[in-house]
């Protein structure tokens, strides 16, 4: 045997098992050993939902499981990470018989390099917290050689203590933990392990608590720990009546195990007179992995939406219209950007999957962790989800094309026809925004005293203000977007403009004006023009007017843009088309109920609203805004203003006149009455 072989044989070996129950950043090397806890239950439903086939495959490929050999994997729902500890105890040879063994968690790690002191503290857990984790961040707190050095100098390592009395902490920390259970545990220690009685008494009186079940210790002591720990746990399991415990309460044995591990360490310290090194733990707030996406088929029609929880029920309607008008010979991949959609709503949408329709939710947060989202200016009816389309090239970098669609649309043609249309070698394909062109043509105001013409020319810097496009239907050429640095240029321009009137749409128009392919207007028909304006022919260039009317009469996509929506204003023209598809979805009754509730609680006012009761608040200040008139009640005095009296610009406005004045633009009407300014946003 060579000298090098002898030296390697004499090296101290350490294995730290890291418990996972779902995919997360993989921490794996010669020391770190990820283990899938509860693998025997992985395909069953739990509090976290059921594991997808894709996730289960990833777990199988990247880590060992706790379900081989002698194991208690099936008890993971109540014993949590103890199933990995039991597996290591009973299957130690499968780990290579290391000299030392330790345990961490995919969400809680040791700070081996003592670099976490400036991290914020998680108020609930009382430990340092990282927003998220990747391999680069992990290396700030972990070094394989440092672990071997620490173990060599300190044979016993545990997570840093929390300043609290262990007994009182168990008694008061959670309503799901019953002190009677812990008392039974202490009685079992005294009965079956009297040699631990002194350590138990001491630990429960001091002001130091050890949590997380994170530690490193020599092999023999680990075996002793497991013998002590599991004998108590299994006996305690028989003594506790779990019949009235909820899911969290049923994990009482896992919680108590943290106290048992600490008692074991206390016993080591007082009996063997050893020093135990404490290392700070770090809690990982966001553990989701960033998975690269690939199209399922080379000829797939790849579509993307961005949605929040409030709009999920309306997304169902949009998807239904897409599916009803799809071609069974095409395969459609639908991706939904989201951050907060409730699981039941997701399941309703996922149930719409068919043989040729695949639907997948993407938590966009993990893909844009490095983006300063505070700069995403929003106002009026807009939401932050509008900005997510900017990150399509980053997230779908392995795709050729992505068709982005707003949620408030109805699709009346096979969307594959749009997806496969000629892009004329341009980066983006979109439809002209007829409402903005109308505003430009009529010298309407974009914001106070600034017309759309001036705003688009001077702020947005459009060379041709009549080429402004609507971003609710966007076909992305991914490679061209990446080569153009679309995301970087967008964020730079947003930082420059800061508060764009039409948020992300203005920025896209500014940076993409030389690289846009214009689609037929029928692919994005804005319905508000027919609602707001009776004389549209006088408000648009004749060519654009004729094209719009042609598209309006034969739409392929109706876009219910602006604040007026078919679900809250079902009496407007073409709202019936939306409701046709709404009646086909599972959430139909919820949509109806939700909007009745909103109407009754949010003082919706229009000329169909017939409730004549007046509250004290209405008597002081209220208004009715319908197609024909604006009616204001102020201190019981009712003022009615006919809509045809209101013009695009000033009606009567004098800053010195505080008794009564009116200013109106496309977005709002502002009234000054007895010195009080009232701003009414237009729907």
Q: What is the mean pLDDT of residues 6-14?
A: 70
Averaged confidence pLDDT in the chain: 88
Burial tier of 421 (Cβ tally within 10 Å: 0-12, 13-18, 19+): middle
Report the distance separating Cα 515 and Cα 535, nearest Å.
Answer: 33
**Would you place residue 484 in the very low, low, confident or very high pLDDT band (cuts 50, 70, 90)?**
very high
Q: Is the domain of 438 the same as that of 409?
A: yes
Q: Is the model's pLDDT at 671 over the cut of 80? A: no
Q: Per-residue pLDDT tens for 359-381?
A: 999 999 888 888 887 788 877 77
Q: Is the model's pLDDT at 533 over the cut of 50? A: yes
Q: Per-residue pLDDT tens for 382-403?
A: 888 889 999 999 999 999 999 9
Burial tier of 579 (Cβ tally within 10 Å: 0-12, 13-18, 19+): middle
Q: Is the model's pLDDT at 683 over the cut of 80? A: no
Sequence-ordered strand ranges (E) for 307-370: 332-338, 357-363
Nearest Cα to 507, choosing from 517, 523, 496, 515?
Answer: 496
Q: Which of 286, 316, 348 is the last residue of a domain?
A: 286
Model-level pTM greater than 0.95? no
Q: Which of 225, 259, 286 is the last residue of a domain?
A: 286
Angle at Cα 175 formed by Cα 173 and Cα 181, nearest 5°? 85
- Residue 296, domain member (yes or no): no
Q: Is the model's pLDDT at 435 over the cut of 50? A: yes
Element (H, E) at 89: helix 82-90
pLDDT at 625: 59
Taking the CB of residue 478, how many other CB atoms lie within 10 A of it? 21
Residue found by looking up tokens 């037929």 in the block? 520
Report the distance separating Cα 576 and Cα 586, nearest Å.
Answer: 18
Question: Between 172 and 644, whose confidence is greater?
Answer: 172
Q: What is the mean pLDDT of residues 145-152?
A: 92
What is the domain range of residue 633? 616-681
pLDDT at 248: 87
Q: Is the domain of 177 the same as that of 42?
A: yes
- Residue 365, domain member (yes or no): yes
Q: What is the CA radius of gyration of the chain?
A: 32
Q: Is the domain of 149 the same as that of 192?
A: yes
Report the distance separating Cα 222 and Cα 92, nearest Å.
Answer: 11
Question: Between 539 and 600, whose confidence is greater?
Answer: 539
Residue found by looking up tokens 């996922």 in the block? 350
**Would you place residue 563 in the very low, low, confident or very high pLDDT band (cuts 50, 70, 90)?**
confident
Q: Is the domain of 278 the same as that of 316?
A: no
Q: What are φ and ψ of residue 180, in 5° steps? A: -60, -35
Contact criterion met (CB below 8 Å) for 190 and 225: no
Q: Is the domain of 370 the same as that of 242?
A: no
Question: Between 611 and 297, whose confidence is greater?
Answer: 297
Q: Is the domain of 549 the same as that of 636?
A: no
- Residue 598, domain member (yes or no): no
Q: Coil, helix or strand for 205? A: coil
Q: Per-residue pLDDT tens for 570-618?
A: 999 999 999 999 999 999 999 999 888 766 655 444 433 333 344 555 5
Q: Please tell me the total count of domains within the chain.
A: 3
Q: Which of 556, 582, 608 is the last residue of a domain?
A: 582
pLDDT at 646: 45
pLDDT at 635: 64
Question: Between 135 and 404, whose confidence is greater?
Answer: 404
Q: What is the mean pLDDT of residues 499-520?
A: 95
Contact criterion met (CB below 8 Å) for 423 and 571: no
- Measured in whole angstroms, the distance separating CA 82 from the mean position of its chain's CA atoms is 30
How are beta strands 557-559 and 409-411 bridged, if at all?
antiparallel
- Residue 593, domain member (yes or no): no
- Residue 295, domain member (yes or no): no
**Would you place residue 636 in the very low, low, confident or very high pLDDT band (cuts 50, 70, 90)?**
low
Residue found by looking up tokens 């969307």 in the block? 415
Q: What is the mean pLDDT of residues 258-272?
A: 96
pLDDT at 553: 96
Report the distance separating Cα 486 and Cα 392, nearest Å.
Answer: 10
| Helical H segments across 514-554, by residue range | 528-532, 542-553
Report the distance separating Cα 243 and Cα 572, nearest Å.
Answer: 56
- Residue 129, domain member (yes or no): yes
Report the distance separating Cα 189 and Cα 435, nearest Å.
Answer: 77
**Would you place residue 49 in the very low, low, confident or very high pLDDT band (cuts 50, 70, 90)?**
low
Question: Between 640 and 95, whose confidence is greater?
Answer: 95
Residue found by looking up tokens 């034969």 in the block? 554
Give the DSSP per-residue string, 211-274: -TT-EEEEHHHHHHHHHHHHHHHHHHHHHS--TT--TTGGGHHHHHHHHHHHHHHHHHHHHH--
pLDDT at 655: 43
Q: What is the mean pLDDT of residues 291-298?
A: 93
Nearest Cα to 260, choosing from 199, 304, 348?
Answer: 199
Report the distance separating Cα 413 and Cα 132, nearest Å.
Answer: 42
Q: Is the domain of 267 the same as that of 350?
A: no
Q: What is the mean pLDDT of residues 421-448?
A: 92
Q: Is the domain of 562 the same as that of 665?
A: no
Q: What is the mean pLDDT of residues 27-35?
A: 96
Q: What is the mean pLDDT of residues 231-248?
A: 94
pLDDT at 298: 92
Q: What is the DSSP letter of 407?
A: S
Q: Per-residue pLDDT tens for 184-199?
A: 999 999 999 999 999 9
Report the distance separating Cα 24 and Cα 48, nearest Å.
Answer: 14
pLDDT at 286: 86
Q: What is the mean pLDDT of residues 410-421?
A: 99
Give the DSSP per-residue string, 474-507: EEEEHHHHHHHTHHHHHHHHHHHH-S-TTHHHHH
* Residues paired with 105 in a beta bridge: 19, 108
Report the distance separating Cα 337 and Cα 340, nearest Å.
Answer: 10
pLDDT above 90 as % of the chain: 70
- Measured in whole angstroms, the distance separating CA 669 from the mean position of its chain's CA atoms is 36
- Residue 611, domain member (yes or no): no
Q: Per-residue pLDDT tens for 315-328?
A: 999 999 999 999 99
427 Cβ neighbours under 8 A, 6+ residues apart: 476, 477, 480, 481, 484, 486, 512, 515, 516
- Residue 610, domain member (yes or no): no
Measured over the CA atoms of residue 118, residue 122, residue 125 and residue 129, the dihedral's sign is negative
Contact criterion met (CB below 8 Å) for 209 and 166: yes
378: domain CATH number is: 3.90.550.10
Contact criterion met (CB below 8 Å) for 336 and 360: yes
Dig out the tokens for 247 from the structure.
Answer: 């899911």
Element (H, E) at 350: helix 343-350
Report the distance separating Cα 508 and Cα 476, nearest Å.
Answer: 12
Q: Is the domain of 276 the same as that of 366?
A: no
pLDDT at 449: 75
Q: Is the model's pLDDT at 434 over the cut of 60? A: yes
């Amino acid at each position: 045997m060579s000298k090098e072989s002898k030296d390697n044989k004499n090296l101290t070996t350490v294995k730290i098992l890291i418990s996972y129950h779902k995919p997360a950043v993989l921490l794996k090397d010669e020391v770190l050993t990820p283990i899938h806890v509860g693998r025997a239950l992985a395909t069953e439903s739990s509090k976290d939902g059921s594991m997808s086939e894709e996730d289960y495959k990833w777990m199988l490929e990247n880590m060992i499981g706790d379900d081989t050999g002698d194991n208690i994997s099936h008890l993971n729902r109540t014993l949590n990470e103890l199933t990995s500890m039991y597996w290591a105890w009973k299957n130690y040879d499968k780990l290579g018989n290391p000299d030392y063994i330790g345990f961490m968690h995919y969400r809680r790690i040791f700070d081996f390099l003592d670099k976490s002191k400036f991290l914020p503290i998680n108020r609930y857990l009382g430990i340092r917290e990282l927003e998220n984790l990747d391999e680069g961040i992990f290396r700030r707190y972990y070094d394989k050689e440092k672990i071997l050095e620490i173990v060599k100098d300190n044979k016993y390592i545990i997570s840093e203590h929390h300043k609290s009395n262990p007994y009182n902490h168990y008694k008061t920390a959670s309503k799901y933990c019953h002190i009677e259970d812990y008392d039974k545990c202490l009685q079992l220690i005294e009965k079956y392990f009297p040699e631990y009685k002194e350590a138990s008494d001491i630990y429960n009186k001091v002001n130091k608590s050890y949590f997380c079940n994170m530690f490193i210790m020599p092999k023999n002591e680990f075996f002793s720990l497991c013998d002590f720990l599991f004998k108590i746990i299994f006996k305690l399991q028989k003594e506790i009546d779990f019949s009235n415990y909820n899911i969290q309460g049923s994990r009482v044995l896992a919680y108590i195990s943290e106290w048992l591990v600490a008692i074991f360490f206390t016993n080591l310290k007082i009996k063997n007179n050893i020093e135990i090194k404490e290392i700070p733990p770090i809690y990982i707030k966001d553990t989701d992995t960033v998975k690269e996406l690939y199209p399922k088929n080379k000829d797939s029609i790849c579509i993307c939406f961005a949605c929040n929880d409030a709009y999920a029920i309306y997304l169902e309607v949009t998807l239904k219209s897409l599916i009803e008008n799809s071609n069974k010979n095409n395969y459609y991949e639908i991706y939904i950007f989201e951050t907060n959609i409730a699981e039941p709503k997701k399941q309703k949408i996922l149930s719409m999957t068919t043989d040729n329709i695949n639907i997948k939710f993407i938590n966009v947060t993990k893909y844009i962790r490095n983006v300063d989202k505070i700069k995403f200016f929003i106002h009026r009816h807009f939401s932050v989800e509008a900005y997510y389309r900017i990150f399509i090239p980053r997230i779908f970098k392995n795709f050729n094309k992505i068709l982005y669609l707003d949620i408030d649309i109805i699709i009346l043609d096979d969307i594959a026809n749009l997806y496969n249309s000629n892009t004329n070698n341009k980066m983006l394909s979109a439809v002209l925004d007829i409402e903005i062109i109308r505003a430009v043509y009529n010298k309407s105001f974009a914001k106070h005293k600034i017309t759309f013409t001036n705003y688009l020319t001077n702020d947005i810097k459009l060379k041709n203000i009549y080429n402004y496009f609507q971003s609710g239907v966007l076909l992305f050429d991914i490679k061209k977007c990446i080569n153009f640095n679309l995301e970087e240029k967008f964020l730079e321009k947003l930082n420059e403009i800061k508060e764009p009137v039409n948020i992300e749409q203005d920025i896209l128009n500014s940076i993409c004006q030389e690289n846009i392919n214009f689609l037929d207007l029928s692919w994005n028909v804005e319905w508000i023009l027919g609602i707001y304006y009776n004389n549209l022919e006088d408000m648009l260039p004749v060519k654009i007017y004729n094209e719009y009317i042609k598209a309006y009469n034969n739409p392929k996509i109706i876009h219910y843009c602006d604040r007026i929506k078919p679900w809250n204003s079902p009496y407007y023209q073409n709202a019936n088309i939306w409701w046709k598809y709404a009646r086909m979805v599972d959430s139909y009754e919820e949509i109806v109920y939700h909007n009745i509730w909103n109407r009754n609680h949010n003082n919706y006012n229009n000329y169909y609203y017939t409730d004549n009761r007046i509250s004290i608040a209405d008597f002081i200040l209220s208004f009715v805004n319908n197609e024909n008139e604006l009616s204001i009640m102020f201190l019981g005095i009712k003022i009615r203003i006919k809509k045809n009296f209101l013009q695009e610009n000033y009606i009567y406005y004098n800053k010195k006149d505080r008794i009564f004045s009116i200013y109106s633009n496309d977005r709002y009407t502002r009234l000054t009455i007895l010195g009080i300014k009232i701003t009414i946003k237009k729907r």
